[in-house]
Amino acid sequence: MDGEMGILELTAVELGKKIKFGEVGVEEALEAVIERIQEREESLHCYVTLDLEGARAKARLLQKKLLNGEVSGPLAGVPFAVKDNLCTKGMRTTCGSKILKNFVPPYDATVVRNLESAGAFILGKTNLDEFGMGNTTERSFAGATRNPWDEERSAGGSSGGSAAAVASGECFAALGTDTGGSIRQPAAHCGLVGLKPTYGTVSRYGLIAYCSSMDQAGPITKDVRDCAAVMEAIASYDEKDATSLRREPLHLQSALTEGVSGLKIGIPKDYFEEKLQPEVEHAVRAAMKELEAQGAIVEEFELGLVRYAVPTYYTIACAEASSNLERYDGMKYGLREAGTGLHDTYRQTRAKGFGEEVKRRILLGTFALSEGYYEQYYLKAMKARRLIKNRFDEVFQTYDLLLGPAAPTTAPQLGSVGDDPVQAYLADVYTVPANLAGIPAMSLPCGRDAQGMPIGLQLMADRFQERTIFRAAATWEQVFGGFRQLRGSRRIDELGQLGGFGQFGGTRQHESKARWEEGMGQA
Amino acid sequence: MVNEKVLERVSRLAELELPKERDQVLRDFQRLVDFAGMLEGLQLGGVEPLYQVNEEQAGNAFREDLVTQDLDREEALENAPKRRGEFFEVPKTF
């Protein structure tokens, strides 16, 4: 390949195109990724398991298949990473937990199979908070993942390994899972695009269950086009998932050029509370103004119930987790810690196999479901969930799209999340409502703070309306620039002023630069 | 208000051995229960619980109950912590 731009600078779709036209070989692309892994993985720790020899064999085979015309499509030949709570046949799948540290699934998750059918291949399994329970990827048996933008910071979580791998070039795109924000928040913290689809769009078969009524897998990618391509590849009806939906083809690619003219965008005032980092607010408001300039109708409104979303979410998630995690009893797979009898073996196995946060959530969930407390806690949360969903139904009668921040702050310093679990949970305030209501939501970059850390913008639409999200996301990206421009983009300080150029020293080359800066100035 | 007795009961139900030092666990547990208790502030009279969001799909989608061979015995046993022949070996249950 010519020297204009390194292979690792390409998006997944750009790479797929170059592979298709024979400009880049599949093995060549993989070797570029492996070289990057050798440079950075030791410090970033994106992966729990890497299978480089297996990946080399797959790359060779795929190159042959491409030449014979046996595989095609935008992702054919592209190296991927997959979060380590998605089952991969023959490749260890740990969920970041000691209890599954030697578990090798005898089957593939449907999303994994779909991705491979599209001609993509998987080189490793990415790190996560144990069973997806956390938002910093520090709560993994395998150790913490670091943020490629600043290694002293968290990559976000729970899909932090996937996000860090994409952001650092240790793969071209990745799958994450999102139960309460675990795709969107790490994507925001690492300057990437992440989508949680409408509940039921992507099969949960082979996604190791945490909270079944909210778990959804989805893409973490460098840009909006990649996100559309991956989403189209992984979405499918699956009779192996009882909550899978039969949907019409998503047609996301065609949404990318439709623009936002006439779209009604609601801005929930309650997403701009005092705890929001000022730079995040400035950047998000600038994006809002830009979409308005592009023809959208923007209006602020009171969403309501936002303060109840997090306790509702945690009560339900912990209850479902306590039930889902009952299966780890040390009998058929996973760790077994011998005790004095059957029950003691269960208790010892679970005490030694689960980390502190997982135990905390199992205890709360068991409590919320137990006799005498069920009505007061679990049932109440299920009712609150209906109120929240009803409110979204109502809001989407008026608005096509909601816009706000993806997270209250940019990526926190590693180790800075204190001992109080409730404080840690509150960081999920902007993401959990979409999981409770089952609606699609995307996070995408919209600037950098004074420290140079990426800021995430969140777009939410009614169920089944992913296309509307992609219309707005692609419009914004065209103005703001993609991930390559993000590195060179200027930082925003607390007053919304633009500072000097970023640490990468790039120059922002964009037709709409002037408009963007004007937008920032107005914020 | 939850106390050590409640915590012990819950840990028994959850088959989780509690650490000897209980103070921290109890404190976190109390915080979480109080947090969940915030929902007291909502008017929930007459509201039906929402078990899953895609209700118009008439609940779960069931398929025909047919026997298929997705997993053979050997594969199913490969992750067993202990096995004897073609069986999982488990501690005495009676």
How far is the C-alpha of A383 from the C-alpha of A370, rounded, in Å?
A: 17
What SS3 string covers A390-415?
A: HHHHHHHHHCCEEEEECCCCCCCECC
Strand, coil or helix: A14: helix
User: What are A73-94's pLDDT values in tens digits?
Assistant: 999 999 999 999 999 999 999 9
Residues in a beta bridge with A122 = A80
Q: Which residue of B has its CA nearest to A104?
A: B79
A507 confidence band (pLDDT: 50, 70, 90)? very low
CA angle A57, A61, A62 (to 5 degrees): 115
CA angle A94, A95, A100 (to 5 degrees): 40
Domain assignment present for A116: yes
* CB neighbour list of residue A291: distance below 8 Å, 6 or more residues apart: A260, A263, A265, A298, A403, A472, A475, A476
Count of other CB atoms within 10 angstroms of residue B44: 18
Strand, coil or helix: A176: strand
Domain assignment present for B36: yes
* CB neighbour list of residue B30: distance below 8 Å, 6 or more residues apart: B1, B2
Cβ contact A312–B39 (<8 Å): yes
**A200 token code pair:** 């039921």
Choose, out of B9, B24, B27, B39, the residue to mutate when testing the contact with A (most A CBs < 10 Å): B39
**A116 token code pair:** 């491979």
Q: At what angle do helices A306-324 and A380-398 cross, to 10 degrees?
A: 130
Cβ contact B39–A308 (<8 Å): yes
Q: Which among A213, A318, A384 is the nearest to B51, CB-wise?
A: A213
**φ, ψ dihedrals at A251, nearest 5°:** 50, 55
Strand, coil or helix: A173: strand
Residues in a beta bridge with A121 = A79
How far is the C-alpha of A177 from the C-alpha of A163, rounded, in Å?
A: 11
* CB neighbour list of residue A69: distance below 8 Å, 6 or more residues apart: none
Residue B15 touches chain A, beta carbons under 8 Å: yes
Q: Chain A: give the shortest CA distance to residue B70, in Å.
A: 9
Count of other CB atoms within 10 angstroms of residue A209: 17
Choose, out of A356, A359, A391, A396, the residue to mutate when testing the contact with B (most B CBs < 10 Å): A359
Domain assignment present for B7: yes
**Domain that includes residue A435, residue range:** 7-307+383-412+420-522
A346 confidence band (pLDDT: 50, 70, 90)? very high
Cβ contact A315–B38 (<8 Å): no
* CATH classification at residue A398: 3.90.1300.10
Cβ contact A308–B57 (<8 Å): no
Residue B45 touches chain A, beta carbons under 8 Å: no
* CB neighbour list of residue A200: distance below 8 Å, 6 or more residues apart: A243, A244, A245, A438, B53, B54, B57
Choose, out of B16, B21, B44, B60, the residue to mutate when testing the contact with A (most A CBs < 10 Å): B16
Cβ contact B61–A239 (<8 Å): yes
How far is the C-alpha of A433 from the C-alpha of A438, rounded, in Å?
A: 8
What percentage of chain A has pLDDT greater than the value 90?
89
B86: pLDDT strictly greater than 70:
yes
DSSP A487-518: HHSPBB-TTS-B-S--TT------TTHHHHHH
Q: At what angle do helices B4-13 and A356-369 cross, to 10 degrees?
A: 100
Cβ contact B2–A367 (<8 Å): yes
Distance of CA A249 to the CA centre of its chain: 22
B93 confidence band (pLDDT: 50, 70, 90)? confident
A56: pLDDT strictly greater than 80:
yes
pLDDT at A445: 97
Cβ atoms of residues A20 and A72 within 8 Å = yes
Domain assignment present for A312: no
Cβ atoms of residues A222 and A166 within 8 Å = yes
User: What are B2-46's pLDDT values in tens digits?
Assistant: 899 999 999 999 999 988 888 999 999 999 999 999 999 999 999
Listed residue (A459, A504, A458, A457) closest to A485, CA to CA:
A504
Cβ contact B76–A106 (<8 Å): yes
* Total domains present in chain B: 1
What SS3 string covers A214-232?
A: CCEEEEEECCHHHHHHHHH
pLDDT at A73: 95
User: What are A233-265's pLDDT values in tens digits?
Assistant: 999 999 999 899 999 999 999 999 999 999 999
Residue B6 touches chain A, beta carbons under 8 Å: yes
Cβ contact B15–A346 (<8 Å): yes
Strand, coil or helix: A114: helix
pTM: 0.94
User: What are A202-229's pLDDT values in tens digits?
Assistant: 999 999 999 999 999 999 999 999 999 9
Alpha helices in A294-431 (DSSP H): 306-324, 342-353, 356-369, 380-398, 421-426
Strand, coil or helix: A455: strand
Residue B68 touches chain A, beta carbons under 8 Å: no
A520: pLDDT strictly greater than 50:
no
Domain assignment present for A329: no
How far is the C-alpha of A388 from the C-alpha of A382, rounded, in Å?
A: 10
A490 confidence band (pLDDT: 50, 70, 90)? confident
Cβ atoms of residues A36 and A170 within 8 Å = yes
Domain assignment present for B81: no
Sort out which chain B residues have CB atoms less than 8 A from A308's CB and list them: 38-39, 41-42
* Gyration radius (Cα) of chain B, Å: 22
What SS3 string covers A196-216?
A: ECCCCCCCCCCECCCCCCCCE
Residue B53 touches chain A, beta carbons under 8 Å: yes
A495 confidence band (pLDDT: 50, 70, 90)? confident
Cβ contact B53–A389 (<8 Å): yes
Q: How many A/B residue pairs have CB atoms within 8 Å? A: 171
Listed residue (A108, A207, A189, A180) closest to A431, CA to CA:
A180
Cβ contact A342–B16 (<8 Å): no
Listed residue (A254, A177, A231) closest to A471, CA to CA:
A254
Check whether the bond before A182 is cis (ω within 30° of 0).
Answer: no
H or E stretch covering A268: strand A264-268
User: What are A365-389's pLDDT values in tens digits?
Assistant: 999 999 999 999 999 999 999 999 9
* Total domains present in chain A: 1
Q: Which residue of B has its CA nearest to A322?
A: B14
pLDDT at A515: 38
Strand, coil or helix: A181: coil
How far is the C-alpha of A20 from the C-alpha of A30, rounded, in Å?
A: 15
Choose, out of A212, A306, A332, the residue to mutate when testing the contact with B (most B CBs < 10 Å): A332
* CB neighbour list of residue A6: distance below 8 Å, 6 or more residues apart: A32
Summary mean pLDDT of chain A = 93
**Domain that includes residue B34, residue range:** 1-40
For residues A516 and A393, which has the higher predicted lDDT (pLDDT)? A393
Q: Which among B36, B62, B75 is the nearest to A377, CB-wise?
A: B36
Listed residue (A379, A350, A381, A95) closest to B14, CA to CA:
A350
**A234 token code pair:** 């992984």
DSSP A274: T
pLDDT at A505: 31
Catalytic residue numbers of A read 83, 158, 182
Domain assignment present for B14: yes
Residue B1 touches chain A, beta carbons under 8 Å: no
Q: Which among B37, B60, B71 is the nearest to A243, CB-wise?
A: B60
Residue linked to tokens 């299920």: A382
How far is the C-alpha of A91 from the C-alpha of A51, rounded, in Å?
A: 8
Lowest mean pLDDT among A25-29, A442-446, B40-44, B90-94: B90-94
Residue linked to tokens 């007061």: A376
Residue A421 touches chain B, beta carbons under 8 Å: yes
